[in-house]
Amino acid sequence: MAQVPQTFFDALAVRTWCGLALETLGRAREEIDAINVYPVADGDTGTNLYLTVESAVAAVEAVFAGHAAGSGPDGPTLADAARAMAHGALIGARGNSGTILAQLLRGMAQVLADDDPAHADGQGLRLALRQAADSARRAVAHPVEGTVLTVASAAADAADGAQGDCGTVARAAYDGARAALAATPGQLPVLERAGVVDAGGRGLVAVLGALVETFTGERARGVAGSAGTGPSRDPQARVEPAVGPVPVGGVLDDCADGAAVPRQEGPAFEVIYLLEAEDRAVERLRERLDALGDSLVVVGGDGLWNVHVHVDDAGAAVEAGIEAGRPHRIRITHFGAGDVHTTGAERPPRERAQRAVVAVVPGEGLAGLYTEAGATTVLARPGEPPASGELVQAVRRAHAREVVLLPNDADLRHTAAAAAEQVRTEGIRVALIPTRSAVQGIAALAVHEPDRRFDEDVVSMTSAAGATRYAEVTVAERQSWTMAGICQAGDVLGLIDGDVAVIGADVAETAQTVLDRMLSAGGEMVTLVLGDDVPDAVAEHLEGRVREGYLAVDTVVYRGGRQGALLLIGVE
């Protein structure tokens, strides 16, 4: 990380700020997660903020690495770094809080990258903070005061009245944000009843504290944490020299979406996806999603958007995105009973479920299928396997005493094992079933019985998964040696139990050869999971082959979405 303080807001300052913000949120996220009560008590607010900034950091570091690898002596410009920060946050935004933070960073980048200046001074930072607050408010369908939107506006207002360099402006914005955060319980009754401040606003205060440290070398201290009084909660506490870790005080509450006042009941699903679409299509999408549910936040621009909404019909929310453009990186989370939009005062303490299943799935279609079957899912996007931290958070979201973990990928076994070890230290009983494919996970989930003894259920699920042979049909990216010979880039490959068994030129023919080989050893059920690029005719061809050549063998077909492989096949 670059040394602080920085004099101007240039590319190096962007890099420094992002790194410091990540460190600050890293220290605070566990406490924020543990006390998240609104709008949904899913215990992931701090983690959502952390992962959003982590994605921004990765994008900024990639820009610096790219320039370092080039031949020119100059590093990235302020515009390069600011745009990378905004883009990274947009594509990595998680949950209500992360989505709002991504738009705040995008708003700042719009000013910092304007006319490609070498650096920005105090006046530029004031304009950036104002644009951030205004653009975030416009992104929320139904803004409400007492949320992170209020804190962002207060920071911008305070910055407007500050005269001086970037350090002076950043300090004013930080102090204004802290004072607004302390006042949030008086603006939202749910916060006042619970005796807490807004957690999304608390996260923003942490990020602004990192901004102060960037320009002054001093670490923010004494952050307001609750509606109570006392020295550690003094909203006017100043910034002191950085010594030791930053204390995180008080009880926090996630109102990061700034959405409508909570009610006793609410939607069952959180749906998030990136969307490639034109502006006019996004305006229509906003209207349609607003009618479907609540907590609607749509951020982004220039053809790429991050969409967040809470709905009862997750499929309809995704279909609306398909009509507007091309949705991808779709995440669907099922809120457990008692989680939906109830206040801390109205809702009794949430009881843990006895048992849950957490599964990694390779495509949006399978994510919906697993979710409908009651599983908590983690989407593994092509080329982006989930980290152990994501699996840990999924287990926590499941909120159960006993959890069955299905990695559904041989390469994720060690990652899943690390996650299982971590959550066991939290008193959760976890069984890892080493499923190597999503079709094995489907077989395991089909025999899952939560009322059965845990050990018996795990044995039954393990047996079903182990009895399911798996295959996939994909396209070779380059020439390489395989178990079936040398393949060329563009060849269609059929892999059985992880090894290349067939090299062909046609998807349907290769898939049929693979299926015949698998069924030669017997089977009662064939599962086909089609990727986005595979026409329905391929499934019809394979179904016909099974019907004509293998008596008493049933076939079931699913659409998997963007799953990497063209086709997944399971035989059990």
Is the dihedral angle over the CA atoms 469, 560, 59, 175 positive or is it negative?
negative
Of residues 261 and 561, more confidently modeled: 561
CB burial of residue 451 (10 Å; 0-12, 13-18, 19+):
exposed
* Residue pLDDT, tens place only, 108-153: 999 998 876 777 888 999 999 999 999 999 998 888 888 889 999 9
* Residue pLDDT, tens place only, 233-266: 333 333 333 323 322 333 333 344 444 334 445 6
Q: What is the pLDDT of residue 561?
A: 80
**343 has pLDDT over 80:** no
Q: What are the helix (H) ranges across 113-240?
A: 122-139, 148-160, 166-183, 189-194, 199-216
Q: What is the pLDDT of residue 510?
A: 93
**350 has pLDDT over 60:** no
Q: What is the pLDDT of residue 106?
A: 93
* Residue pLDDT, tens place only, 524-558: 999 999 988 888 899 999 999 999 889 889 999 98
Report the SS3 class of residue 517: helix
Residue with tokens 């060690």: 414
Number of Cβ within a 10 Å radius of residue 101: 31
**346 has pLDDT over 70:** no
High-pLDDT (> 70) share of the chain, %: 84
Of residues 70 and 526, more confidently modeled: 526
**101 has pLDDT over 50:** yes
pLDDT class of 39 with cuts at 50, 70, 90: low
Count Cβ neighbours within 10 Å for each residue of 13-40 and write b for 16 or more, e otherwise.
bbbbbbbbbbbbbeebbebbbebbbbbb
Q: What is the pLDDT of residue 184?
A: 84
High-pLDDT (> 90) share of the chain, %: 42
Phi-psi category of residue 546: left, alpha or beta, with phi > 0 → left and psi -120 to 50 → alpha: alpha
Q: What is the pLDDT of residue 36?
A: 56
DSSP state of 551: T
Q: CA angle 328-334-338, nearest 5°? A: 150
**477 has pLDDT over 90:** no
Of residues 196 and 229, more confidently modeled: 196
Q: What is the pLDDT of residue 158?
A: 93
- Which of 5-9, 19-23, 122-126, 373-377 is least confident? 5-9
CB burial of residue 522 (10 Å; 0-12, 13-18, 19+):
exposed
- Tell me how far CA of residue 297 lies from CA of 48, 143, 306, in angstroms: 15, 10, 8
Q: What is the pLDDT of residue 228?
A: 35
Q: What is the pLDDT of residue 492?
A: 93
Q: What is the pLDDT of residue 262?
A: 41
**284 has pLDDT over 70:** yes
User: SS3 helix, strand, coil % of the chain, rounded to 5?
Assistant: 45, 20, 30
